[in-house]
Chains A and B, each alone.
Chain A
């Protein structure tokens, strides 16, 4: 156990020495990883917030059934009761023609004087249908709407289904773009880390020759390079996190209108601690794979 600790300390010292021995090359690798992760992280951040909007909307999703004119209050209540028994419906609320007009008048505000000239109330009575939690999605809503379609006394059914579906398609498209971009950037990052570590191996060939002569195993010689890759990756992840945070805090508030358009009423949220650590760990992982590609194979004892 003690020997493992001694070796680990040696590996860390050697890796750190390696980073310091070629500061420019290492800095280029760290910045490349950092910029790649900023792009991927920005996508992740946008998606995370868009999904928050979907979650928020999910709680508010409901279906409105507009009733035909000429129904008695008893008939309206009967329809409301019937709808309440449909699977996926949590509760129903009957809005009479008068209540609908009053709501509309309140909504118009100061322009309500214009409504005084109307001879008849043109608004229909309606039933607001709240959905059970499992149906608060575009597909859940579609199922409820399909169940109500064609019911006697219902003139029209309205829901945010089309809008939600469109938004979900946008989220899926962005996610696909993010994954594609992430894959390309990950490959580029791997190549850059691998080349940086190959240069480091070449620069330290004399040291490796001596280590081999005094009985160092391949893993003993390779481990510091792997650690160097991990360090570069983790530093790159840290740089990305700082840049993203700076963009989030400084740049984002300047795009209030655009944010409102994309995120609705949801306040933008930065990564939580676990997600921040995941970004740094992603950098470290890229560094590990890049350096592993550089040092595995082709070593002679």
Chain B
């Protein structure tokens, strides 16, 4: 199969600037295959979060083209953004969970958006929580959970609709080292099931542990694109 045609994400000379002359991303071109696991690394302000925001259409590129799951982000109308986002799961460092809702309700939000009947939604939520070892916590509120558990709830919400792409922005930034490994193992396992996974992190220890493709950003530019261990280099 043609690898280029099968790409989940393609960026062509993408730049993003918020102020004139100040670039968060500059002339970035890259491609993520379907099912690929990619780390985005670099210091704070390198452009990792900006790149992720461009991928789920929270931002528009200032220059260049971005094609995500066959849709050109730069030309996407407002009404086309929600359907695209339903195919993308997003996980944040601060979890973004509603404290007033139970774990089950938090995860079910993603299913409500796609019109899943309530009974079916409960079954799906139970299934994903079970996979993440949280089924016994489904009626608890997030504040009664540990940081690791909260992040697993956020991952459950991101995965419950079986997205084609999973984006994670510093998903272990608020977690202890032990929990960090647990959460990263969980995220890595989704790539095995065919989901394209892009993780932005500045924790190089984690990056080294998985031996996956690693793109280093610095001041908005790609400074290194290291292929996964055992994969031939070259774009």
Give me the interface of A with B, judged by CB distance under 8 Å.
Answer: 2-3, 6-7, 9-10, 21, 206-207, 209-218, 220, 301
> Is B98 in contact with A210, judged by CB distance below 8 angstroms?
yes
> Is B83 in contact with A210, judged by CB distance below 8 angstroms?
no
Closest residue to B160 on the A side, CB-wise? A214
Q: Could you name 8 residue pairs across A and B whose Cβ atoms are closer than 8 Å?
A: A3-B115, A7-B115, A207-B109, A210-B109, A211-B113, A213-B56, A213-B90, A213-B96
> Is B113 in contact with A220, judged by CB distance below 8 angstroms?
yes
Residue among B85, B86, B96 with max Cβ neighbours from chain A (10 Å): B85
Q: How far, in Å, is A214 (CB) from chain B's closest CB?
A: 4
Q: How far, in Å, is A73 (CB) from chain B's closest CB?
A: 89
> Is A2 in contact with B117, judged by CB distance below 8 angstroms?
yes
> Is B82 in contact with A301, judged by CB distance below 8 angstroms?
yes
The residue that A207 contacts in the complex, of B56, B98, B116, with Cβ under 8 A, is B98
Chain B residues with CB under 8 A of A207? 98, 109
Chain A residues with CB under 8 A of B82? 212, 215-217, 220, 301
Chain A residues with CB under 8 A of B57? 301
Q: How far, in Å, is B23 (CB) from chain A's closest CB?
A: 23
> Is B113 in contact with A215, judged by CB distance below 8 angstroms?
yes
CA–CA, A6 and B120, complex, Å: 11
Chain B residues with CB under 8 A of A21? 100
Known: A206-B98, A301-B57. A215 touches B112 (CB 8 A): no
> Is B83 in contact with A6, judged by CB distance below 8 angstroms?
no
Known: A209-B96, A301-B78. A214 touches B157 (CB 8 A): yes
Closest residue to A14 on the B side, CB-wise? B112
Chain A residues with CB under 8 A of B186? none
Residue among B84, B110, B161 with max Cβ neighbours from chain A (10 Å): B110
Indicate whether B143 reaches chain A with its CB closer than 8 angstroms: no
CA–CA, A74 and B73, complex, Å: 101
> Is B96 in contact with A210, judged by CB distance below 8 angstroms?
yes
> Is A215 in contact with B98, judged by CB distance below 8 angstroms?
no
The residue that A217 contacts in the complex, of B79, B100, B109, B157, with Cβ under 8 A, is B79
Total count of chain B residues near the partner, CB < 8 A = 27
Residue among B56, B88, B90, B115 with max Cβ neighbours from chain A (10 Å): B115
Q: How far, in Å, is B206 (CB) from chain A's closest CB?
A: 24
CA–CA, A21 and B113, complex, Å: 21
Closest residue to B79 on the A side, CB-wise? A217
For window 54-88 of B, CB contacts with A under 8 Å fall at: 56-57, 78-79, 81-88
> Is A214 in contact with B117, judged by CB distance below 8 angstroms?
no
> Is B96 in contact with A215, judged by CB distance below 8 angstroms?
no
Residue among B57, B78, B83 with max Cβ neighbours from chain A (10 Å): B78
CA–CA, A7 and B116, complex, Å: 8
Main secondary structure, interface of A, reads: helix
Q: How far, in Å, is B73 (CB) from chain A's closest CB?
A: 12
> Is A215 in contact with B86, judged by CB distance below 8 angstroms?
yes
CA–CA, A215 and B85, complex, Å: 5
CA–CA, A210 and B157, complex, Å: 10
> Is B115 in contact with A214, judged by CB distance below 8 angstroms?
no
The residue that B109 contacts in the complex, of A9, A211, A218, with Cβ under 8 A, is A211
Given contact pairs A6-B118, A210-B109, A301-B57, enumerate 7 new A-B contacts (beta carbons under 8 Å). A6-B115, A209-B96, A213-B90, A214-B110, A215-B113, A217-B82, A301-B78
Q: How far, in Å, is A234 (CB) from chain B's closest CB?
A: 24
Indicate whether B114 reaches chain A with its CB closer than 8 angstroms: yes
> Is A214 in contact with B86, judged by CB distance below 8 angstroms?
yes
Chain A residues with CB under 8 A of B117? 2, 6
Closest residue to B81 on the A side, CB-wise? A301
Chain B residues with CB under 8 A of A215? 82-88, 110, 113-114
Residue among A3, A213, A218 with max Cβ neighbours from chain B (10 Å): A213
CA–CA, A235 and B155, complex, Å: 40
Q: How far, in Å, is B198 (CB) from chain A's closest CB?
A: 15
Chain A residues with CB under 8 A of B87? 215
CA–CA, A206 and B88, complex, Å: 19
Across the A-B interface, give the 6 residue pairs with the lowest CB-CB distance, nearest first: A215-B86, A215-B85, A3-B115, A214-B110, A217-B82, A216-B113
The residue that B118 contacts in the complex, of A9, A217, A220, A301, with Cβ under 8 A, is A9
Chain A residues with CB under 8 A of B85? 212-215
Closest residue to B106 on the A side, CB-wise? A210
Chain B residues with CB under 8 A of A6? 115-118
For window 99-135 of B, CB contacts with A under 8 Å fall at: 100, 109-110, 112-118
Chain B residues with CB under 8 A of A212? 82, 85
CA–CA, A209 and B98, complex, Å: 10
Chain B residues with CB under 8 A of A301? 57, 78, 81-82
Chain B residues with CB under 8 A of A10? 112
> Is A214 in contact with B81, judged by CB distance below 8 angstroms?
no
Closest residue to A9 on the B side, CB-wise? B118
Closest residue to A5 on the B side, CB-wise? B117
> Is A214 in contact with B109, judged by CB distance below 8 angstroms?
yes
Chain A residues with CB under 8 A of B79? 217
